[in-house]
Amino acid sequence: MSSVLPVLSARLSTAATEAFGLTLDPELRPATKPEFGHFQTNLALRLAKPLGLAPPAIAATLVEHLVVDDLCVPPTIAGPGFVNLELRTDVLAAAVNSPAAFAPRGERVVVDYSQPNVAKQMHVGHLRSTVIGDALCNVLAYVGYEVIRQNHVGDWGTQFGMLVEQLLDEDPAQSLDLESLQGLYQRSRAHFDSSSEFADRSRARVVALQSGDAGTRALWQRMVDVSLVEFERLYARLGTGLTPADVVGESAYNDELPDVVDDLTAAGLLTESGGALCAFLPGFTGRDGSPLPVIVRKSDGGFGYSATDLAAVRHRVRELEAQRIIYVVDQRQALHFRQIFALAAAAGWLPSTTIAEHVGFGTVLGPDGKPFKTRSGDTVRLATLLDQAVERATALLDERGAPIDSRASIAQAVGIGAVKYADLSSDRVNDYVFALDRMVAMTGNTGPYLQYAHARLTRLLAKADAGPTLVTVLENPVEQRLALQLDAFASTVEQVAETLQPHRLCGYLFELATTLSAFYELCPVLTSEGETRASRLALCAATRRVLGDGLGLLGITAPDSM
Ligand code: ARG
**Closest residue by CA, ligand 1 atom 6:** 115
Of 358, 309, 416, 381, which is closest to residue 133 (Cα–Cα)? 358
Within a domain: 284 = no
Q: Please tell me the distance between residue 333's alpha carbon and the centre of ligand 1 in angstroms.
A: 9
Predicted confidence (pLDDT) per residue in 34-78, tens digit = 889 999 999 999 999 999 999 999 999 999 999 999 999 999 999
CB 553 within 8 A of CB 142: yes
Which residue of 112, 118, 150, 152 sits with most ligand 1 atoms within 8 Å of its CB, as the best mutation to test the pocket?
152
CB 185 within 8 A of CB 159: yes
> Helix, strand or coil for residue 336?
helix
Predicted confidence (pLDDT) per residue in 398-451, tens digit = 998 888 889 999 999 999 999 999 999 999 999 999 999 999 999 999 999 999
Q: What is the mean pLDDT of residues 1-17?
A: 87
Backbone angles phi, psi at 273, to 5 degrees: -145, 110
What's the pLDDT score for residue 376?
76
Distance CA 84, CA 103 (A): 32
DSSP element (H, E) containing 127? helix 124-142
- pLDDT, greater one: 304 or 343: 343
Distance CA 467, CA 533 (A): 12
Q: Please tell me the distance between residue 312's alpha carbon and the centre of ligand 1 in angstroms.
A: 12
**119 in ligand 1 pocket by Cβ < 6 Å?**
no
**117 in ligand 1 pocket by Cβ < 6 Å?**
yes
Atom of ligand 1 nearest to the CA of 153: 1
**Closest residue by CA, ligand 1 atom 8:** 152
* Beta strand 82-87 pairing with 72-78: antiparallel
What's the pLDDT score for residue 1?
42
User: Which residues neighbour 222 within 8 Å (Cβ) at sequence distance 6 or greater?
Assistant: 176
What's the domain count of the chain? Answer: 1
**112 in ligand 1 pocket by Cβ < 6 Å?**
yes
28 is in which domain, residue-wise? Answer: 5-87
User: Cα separations (Å) of 482 from 39, 93, 466, 488, 536?
Assistant: 14, 11, 21, 10, 11
Within a domain: 54 = yes
What's the pLDDT score for residue 419?
97
**122 in ligand 1 pocket by Cβ < 6 Å?**
no
What's the pLDDT score for residue 379?
77
pTM metric for this prediction: 0.95
pLDDT of 381 above 90: no
Within a domain: 64 = yes
- The CATH number linked to 68 is 3.30.1360.70
Of 84, 77, 81, 5, which is closest to residue 46 (Cα–Cα)? 81
Within a domain: 74 = yes
Q: Please tell me the distance between residue 114's alpha carbon and the centre of ligand 1 in angstroms.
A: 8
What's the pLDDT score for residue 360?
98
**151 in ligand 1 pocket by Cβ < 6 Å?**
no
In the structure, what pLDDT confidence band is assigned to residue 32 with cuts at 50, 70 and 90?
confident
Average pLDDT, the chain: 95
What's the pLDDT score for residue 263?
96
**327 in ligand 1 pocket by Cβ < 6 Å?**
yes
Atom of ligand 1 nearest to the CA of 309: 10
Within a domain: 129 = no
DSSP string, 161-228: HHHHHHHHHS-TTS---HHHHHHHHHHHHHHHHH-HHHHHHHHHHHHHHHTT-HHHHHHHHHHHHHHH
